[in-house]
Amino acid sequence: MVARIDVDGGPGRTGAPDGARQTAREDERLAELSTESQDERLADLDRRSTIGVLEALNDAEAEVPAAVRRALPQLTALVDATAERLQAGGRLLYVGAGTSGRLGVIDAAECPPTFHTDPELVQGLMAGGQGAMFVAVEGAEDDPELGAADLAAVAVGPRDVVVGITASGRTPYVRGAVRAAREAGALTAAVVCNADSVLATEVDIAIEAVVGPEVLTGSTRLKAGSATKQVLNMLSTAVMVRLGRVHGNLMVDVSVTNEKLRARAERLVATITGADASAAAAALRAADDRVKTAVVMLERDTDRAGAEKLLEAAGGRLGEVIDG
């Protein structure tokens, strides 16, 4: 666990400094961020050929995986802590503004169809509300009290995990939300793209995917956005693996919501059980389109109710039912 400070100052401070001084200090901090720095090697970007611009963008994106890999020890700790809390009835709450907020909402929205989770289990909160997914809400990210209010609105508690997402590591909305989460006893984490950010000092676990200057100076939807998306993909996927919502590397909790996914689900049943396509499809229908239930019905020669009971006793872990 790292040291923490209050949103309005450092350890032991009482009250805020003069407004002008505080603004100047924030401007200085912003100027020092690596994501706000100019890559002088690309100062001629506007004079390059189209292929030259694209090569610069592609070269920059190639740096992202290494930045994420350097953060794997901290991400490992966050995955294990999150899985433990979700197993105990907690939730994973992403909080962000702008691009960072949108990425959190996207990852949360993908969990129900991919892992058949309750929409409440993984949620994305963003400055300005869900409407800000499509139209920027001016000033919303600068209000720490709005972040705190949004956390209060979802009744954050001690079993929850709150992940603040901000490339800069200093967004007031996110810091306000993290402060509220901390006061509620939740586990707090940060996904940031700058080293030694203020938010990293205010959370339990800091994921620092430091990507450096952007091709387009300050446009953190580029490398920083890609790094953030990778981290969130890895976090939610690894947590679901730990929770038993994956069998081998098969997506056995997929929600069947269209014909493509029905065909995938039928193939999963056939792959795991060795049943022919017709038997797999029939079992899936009898299992109300739940892949794991259909597999257990075939493997254990039981009906839907019996299969569901076996899965419940195993905590939803398919391998424990059919391999144990």
DSSP string computed for 172-219: HHHHHHHHHHHHTT-EEEEEESSTT-TGGGGSSEEEE----S-SSTT-
Within this chain, do residues 176 and 288 fall inside the same structural domain, yes or no?
A: no
Among residues 242, 268, 303, which one ends one of the domains?
A: 242
What number of residues does the chain have? 324
Q: Could you report the per-residue pLDDT of 207-258, keeping only the tens digit for each?
A: 999 999 999 999 999 999 999 999 999 999 999 999 999 999 999 999 999 9
Over 80: is that where the pLDDT of 29 sits?
Answer: no
Please, what is the average pLDDT of the chain? 92
Q: Does some domain include residue 250?
A: no
- Rounded to whole angstroms, the Cα distance separating 107 from 237 reads 10
CA torsion angle for 38, 42, 48, 50 (degrees, to 10)? -80
Rounded CA-CA distance 19/1 in Å is: 32
16 part of a folded domain: no
Backbone angles phi, psi at 199, to 5 degrees: -65, -35
Query: 55 and 83: one domain?
Result: yes
175 shares its domain with 318: no
Helix (H) or strand (E) holding 122: strand 122-126
State the burial class of residue 50 (Cβ atoms within 10 Å of its Cβ: 0-12, 13-18, 19+): exposed
The answer to whether 120 is a known catalytic residue is no
| Per-residue pLDDT at 8 exceeds 80 | no
Q: Is the pLDDT of residue 93 over 50?
A: yes
Same domain, 87 and 149: yes
List the catalytic residue out of 141, 208, 266, 308: 141
CATH number, residue 187:
3.40.50.10490
Last residue of a domain, one of 184, 207, 242: 242
Residues 215 and 293 in one domain: no
110 is catalytic: yes
Residues 263 and 198 in one domain: no
Q: What is the pLDDT of residues 260-269, one digit of tens each?
A: 999 999 999 9
pLDDT tens digit sequence for 261-317? 999 999 999 999 999 999 999 999 999 999 999 999 999 999 999 999 999 999 999
pLDDT at residue 14 is higher than 80? no
Q: Is residue 295 part of a domain?
A: yes
HSE-up of 256 (CA within 13 Å, CB side)? 20
Q: Which is it for the CA torsion 15, 21, 25, 27, positive or negative? A: positive
As for how many domains the chain has, the answer is 2
Whether 253 is in a domain gets the answer: no
Residue 252 in any domain: the answer is no
Q: Which of 36, 61, 84, 110 is catalytic?
A: 110
State whether 92 and 37 are in the same domain: yes
Q: What is the pLDDT of residues 144-183, one digit of tens each?
A: 999 999 999 999 999 999 999 999 999 999 999 999 999 9
Question: Are residue 64 and residue 193 in the same domain, yes or no?
Answer: yes
CATH number, domain with residue 290:
1.10.8.1080
Confidence at 32, pLDDT banded by 50, 70, 90:
confident
Give the residue-averaged pLDDT of 77-85: 99
* Domain contains 168: yes
pTM of the entire predicted model: 0.89
- Residues 77, 132 within the same domain: yes
**Are 124 and 272 contained in the same domain?**
no
Domain boundary among 242, 273, 288: 242
- The pLDDT assigned to 136 comes to 86
- The reply to whether 103 and 220 lie within a common domain is yes
**Residues 19, 23, 24, 29: what is their CA dihedral angle, to the nearest 10 degrees?**
140
163 and 268 in a single domain? The answer is: no
Residue 267: name the closest of 258, 259, 277, 257 by CA: 277
For residue 276, give its domain range.
259-322
Specify if 208 maps to a domain: yes
pLDDT higher than threshold 50 for residue 1: no
Given a cut of 60, whether residue 320 has pLDDT beyond it is yes
247 domain-assigned: no
